[in-house]
Amino acid sequence: MARAAGLVITWSDFDALSKVTPLLAKIYPNGSADINHFQAAGGTGLLFGELIKAGLMHGDARVCFGGTLEGPALNRSWKKASSGGGRLPRKVMIQR
C-alpha cells in the first residue's frame, strides 16, 4: 500500500524504527503471554496510546469510525483496562 501511495519503505526503515520502539508487552513469541492476556491488559488501544505519548505514532491519524487514533487511545489507562483489582496480568507487564 505504501508503494502504491508513492512511498518507498525499506528494511533499513524497519530496522531504524525497531531500534527506538520499546517492547511494550511480553506477548508470544517475545514472551509467555498470548493475545488474550494482551487484550485483558488493555489491547491495541492502550498500546497505541503509549506509542503516541512517546512520539512514535501519529495520534492525529484519522480512523474509519470517525475521529483520530488519539481520542480513544489516550483515554485508556492500565488501571482501567486491567481486570484484577487494578493490577495487570503479570504475563503482560510493560517493559520500560
* Each residue's pLDDT tens digit, 34-51: 888 888 888 888 888 888
Residue 31 and residue 55: Cα distance in Å, rounded? 25
What is the residue whose three cell numbers read 512520539? 55
Residues in contact with 68: Cβ distance below 8 Å, sequence separation at least 6, in sequence order: 59, 60, 61, 62
| pLDDT beyond 90 at 63 | no
In this predicted model, which residue has the larger pLDDT, 65 or 87? 65
Residues 47/74, Cβ–Cβ less than 8 Å = no
